Amino acid sequence: MTLPKKNLLPTWLAFARRGRVYASLDADSEPSTLEMSNFSESASIPGHNSSSSTNLNQYASNKDLNKVLPRPPMFSSLCTRQYYVFLVSSEFLDGAPFNAPQMDDSSATTILQDYQNNQTSLLKLENKACVEVYTAPIISANSDLVLVSTYSDSNNSLIYCDYSQDSQLVEGSYQRYEICSLPLLRNCDPSGVIANGHNWSIDASDTHGANDYTPTGTSQVNETSIQYCLSKGVEEHCKLQFSLAIMIVVIICNLIKTICMSIIAWKQDPEPLVTLGDAIASFLDRPDMTTEGNCIVGKTRFEDSKSWHLLLSTWDPKGLRWFRAASQRRWLVCNILCISTLIVACALLSLGLNNPRLTSRSISHLWSLGFGNVNSEALIIMNNSQDLSGPAGVIFTVLVANSPQILLSFLYFAYNGLFTCMLLADEWSAYASKRRFLRVTSPTGGQRSTYRLQLPYRYGIPLLIGSSALHWFVSQSIFLARVNVLDSAGVEVIGDGVSTCGYSPIALIFVIILGSIVVLLGIAFGFRKARVGMPHAGSCSAVISAACHPPEADVDASSKRVMWGVVAKESFKYRGKSVGHCSFTSLKVEAPIVGERYAGQ
């Protein structure tokens, strides 16, 4: 009988806590690696014991490695093995001879002979448990499979020998010749296979092992039932890999960023206009005559007026909400982007929860899958996985897994800008109620330095923590899952590894919850009542300039404690009525009176 060309069925091999480092660098263009090997005391299959066959697809032992390693350029990967499938008669275990004259692979003959002589080295699995292990998209801790049938032949106990087809991770579909019958090859539903595993039978006349899950007699002729399986337990392996290409890109990007920051710091103006305090200080030191006489004119009137010459106004303060500090367009863009992102996240979570490989949708089970842990229940299976086998596949998968981080960064900038507008307005209106030093970029005298986060710490720190938490949860929601292939001798098959993405439903749930809280908090802050006492400025430089025309006697006001208010009750008369003047000043001020006119010089 002809032994087909070697194929592979990847097996996920998780990190062993009692492992040790015994290798370092891979050759050529493959990622550099540190390999971990598990020397366990028992060769048992995870999840298999006398009372339970659950958790077959849960291999969380590499979660410790995932949690401490930053995602690219360093990442953990798992390994899989190629394996033989032997269909034997019941006499094989009694030492009956086997004869396969056309089997030109001497290693297969040697391996089968060794299994016949050392049956204790194999693990016995009942049909259902065997099907659960070998129909999983990722198979761990198992290699060669011996199917013990009810077929009787004492002269030749070997019915056929074959290599399994690629796993779903590699092939993109379920195609197990030793598992699925020919009519089922196109749509081999693992749940149906497992449910009917006790009726497992194989057409012995088909050298490809056409299988069926219906009772004997309903399939093709020469059908034989499977009594049980013998599986070879193998050591689990994982690797700590390093992508040189990604590291070079990271170094170049950080170098460019460092150069840009250095140029900005070197060429920065000694009196930069960055903060509200910088603008007020600049206009107090050098008043702008184009806005003189408009001391209580607000942002809207400045924007609607063709001429700024003496926009005489009556003081009539109105209670506003914080959301008026930012433009309507800014609010719409920010919230539409945030809500759209949350809707997409909910849709992706729904797809993930409807994954047929997910054994349970309970919160406890989703929690057991962990954050950022590679698990066969939560993998994105790509139709052309072989195209992602090399270094290019690693880079492509890294880009896919990290693309949400780019979107999240843009959302953070939009959200930060929204809070900056609202808090800028709050800082502005505070100068009407309390005398204080200006907060500037380059403080002199009694001036205060600007916030390192550009926002008051009571807002900036929670916003930074929330953003960092979102970035972390997103990084745990979708991540690189790399599997390398080992041949039957344990040697890595270069070029046969697969890069794909894993996902964590529980992490995605946290992203949706935390993201919703952040959006709702932003809207809630927008409805806070603003302080009353100053014209609405927003970030309008004309309003700031108009409020900075101090009395001539007020020298060097910008370096002192300042306050905004009435500095002259009668600057000039207009139609027989006195017109006062308001300004920032370090001198004594009074609150403007409702109904009075202010526009003086």
Q: Return the structure tokens found at 462.
A: 């929670």
Tell me the one-letter amino acid at 578: S
pLDDT at 473: 94
Q: Is 58 within the bounds of a domain?
A: yes
Tell me the one-letter amino acid at 561: R
Task: Report which of 416, 600, 401, 395 is spatially closest to residue 503, judged by C-alpha positions.
Answer: 401
What digits encode the pLDDT tens for the residues 16-32? 222 222 222 233 334 44
Q: Is 74 within the bounds of a domain?
A: yes
Which segment of 63-72, 337-346, 459-468 scores lowest on mean pLDDT? 63-72
Q: Which domain holds residue 421?
A: 318-526
Q: How many domains does the chain have?
A: 2
Is the predicted pLDDT of residue 401 greater than 80, yes or no?
A: yes
Q: Are residues 344 and 481 in the same domain?
A: yes
Q: Return the structure tokens found at 395.
A: 């880079």
Answer yes or no: are the C-beta atoms of 194 and 126 closer than 8 Å. no
Q: Are residues 206 and 324 in the same domain?
A: no
Going by pLDDT thresholds of 50, 70 and 90, the confidence category of residue 339 is: very high
Q: Are residues 387 and 479 in the same domain?
A: yes
**Angle between helix 457-477 and 391-430 (nearest 10):** 160
Sign of CA dihedral 565, 567, 568, 569: positive
What is the pTM for the complete model shown?
Answer: 0.70
Is the predicted pLDDT of residue 424 greater than 50, yes or no?
A: yes
Give the CA distances from residue 311 to residues 25, 120, 263, in Å, rounded to whole numbers and listed in that order: 75, 98, 42
Q: Are residues 327 and 231 in the same domain?
A: no
Q: Are residues 328 and 226 in the same domain?
A: no
Q: Is 484 within the bounds of a domain?
A: yes
Distance CA 37, CA 16 (A): 7
Phi/psi for 355 (5° steps) reads: -65, 120
What digits encode the pLDDT tens for the residues 63-119? 333 333 345 577 777 777 777 888 888 899 899 988 765 555 677 788 888 999 999
Going by pLDDT thresholds of 50, 70 and 90, the confidence category of residue 211 is: very low
Give the CA distances from residue 352 to residues 141, 152, 346, 378, in Å, rounded to whole numbers and listed in that order: 26, 46, 10, 7
Q: Is 446 within the bounds of a domain?
A: yes
Distance CA 515, CA 527 (A): 19
